[in-house]
Amino acid sequence: MANTTWHRMPDRGGGAVGVGEMGEVNVNTIYVPKGKAKEYGDYALNIYTGCPHRCYYCFAPNVLHRDRETFHADVRPRKGIVEATRKRLEQGDVTDKLIHLCFTCDPYPTGHDSTPTREIIKLLKERGNHVQILTKNPADASRDFDLMDRNDWFGVTLTGATVKQEPGSTNQKKWLSRITAARHFGIKTWVSFEPVINAEWVLSCIAMHGEIFDKIKIGKLNYWLSEINWSEFGTKAEALCKERGFDYYIKDGLRAEMMHGGR
């Protein structure tokens, strides 16, 4: 597969995210994602105003209508997020739900205090809900494994990007041990190969490590130009998952490319 080129496509928004421009909490603290975000889960909650991981392809500043540099540099818990979550849960209608953490930020921003994430997981679990973590900082996330059980999902994003392309992210080679640790706690594990930046790397990762994930999700790079042949990549990835008997999901955008044979 050819290398990815870094040319930005036009911005596109991402539906309700339950956050105002300055990070204030509104009534949609726990919200139902719309559009492409729906593929992440039925419910979501965003804890921080920004994310320090600086992935070049990050869509969150566009969704939040925030300046990209401010989004990466000004990372705080959303004002009153823990208390607002508590009050939202007291309404009693959000229970036995799987709640995705997080859509517009990482629940464990590297170099920042992630205590609010722990408090929110506690609150959600106390009300009988389940969490679906997605992070690029599994080392910090493992602190909260004691709160989670077999109804929860712990996941990492793996893209095959270089350090330059995800400069704030932690060393991916060390992540797999955290996935194994989550499994020891009885927590279900998943991986989001989205957006795929290095197709060969991702195929190799599926082949070598796929068995440590209870669910594999695969999605293409959107809104940025790429020289990856998506149809070819998707077909190979799906064949590999089927051959190994993995539980996998091809995201809609990639599935469409596979059906239409597009690049």
- Judge whether 159 and 200 are in contact, CB under 8 Å: no
188 touches ligand SF4 by CB under 6 A? no
Does residue number 191 form part of the binding site for ligand SF4 (CB under 6 A)? no
Are 180 and 212 spatial neighbours (Cβ–Cβ below 8 Å)?
yes
* Rounded least distance, CB 72 to ligand SF4, Å: 7
Least distance from ligand SF4 to the Cβ atom of residue 103, Å:
8
1, 30, 47, 55: residue in contact with ligand SF4 (rule CB under 6 A): 55
Q: Does 54 bind ligand SF4 (CB under 6 A)?
A: yes
Out of 25, 60, 124, 206, point to the residue binding ligand SF4 (CB under 6 A): 60
Among 30, 58, 120, 241, binds ligand SF4 (CB under 6 A): 58
Beta bridge pairs of residue 192 = 157, 217
Closer CB to ligand SF4, residue 57 or residue 230? 57
At 25, is the secondary structure helix, strand, or coil? strand
CA nearest to 161, candidates 106, 111, 228: 228
Mask: binding to ligand SF4, 71-110, rule CB under 6 A, as x and -?
----------------------------------xx----
Q: How far is the CB of 246 from ligand SF4 (least distance, A)?
A: 24
- CB nearer to ligand SF4: pick between 53 and 130: 53
**Dihedral (Cα; 262, 159, 148, 151), 10-degree rounding:** 20
Give the interface segment with ligand SF4, choosing from 36-44, 52-60, 228-236, 245-253 (CB under 6 A): 52-60
Q: How far is the CB of 105 from ligand SF4 (least distance, A)?
A: 5
Residues 6+ apart with CB under 8 A from 120: 45, 47, 81, 82, 85, 101
Taking the complex as a whole, how short is the minimal distance between the CB of residue 51 and ligand SF4, in angstroms?
3
Nearer to ligand SF4, 43 or 108 (CB): 108
Q: How many other CB atoms are found less than 10 A from the CB of residue 2?
A: 10
Options 45, 51, 99, 141; binder of ligand SF4; rule CB under 6 A: 51
DSSP letter string, 29-95: SEE---GGGGGG-SEEE--BS--TT--TT--HHHHHT--HHHHHH---BPBTHHHHHHHHHHTS---
Using rule CB under 6 A, residue 220 touches ligand SF4: no
Candidate segments 48-56, 93-101, 173-181, 228-236, binder of ligand SF4 by CB under 6 A: 48-56
**For helices 115-126 and 81-90, angle between their N-to-C axes, nearest 10 degrees:** 0
Give the residues lining the site for ligand SF4 (CB under 6 A).
51, 53-55, 58, 60, 105-106, 136
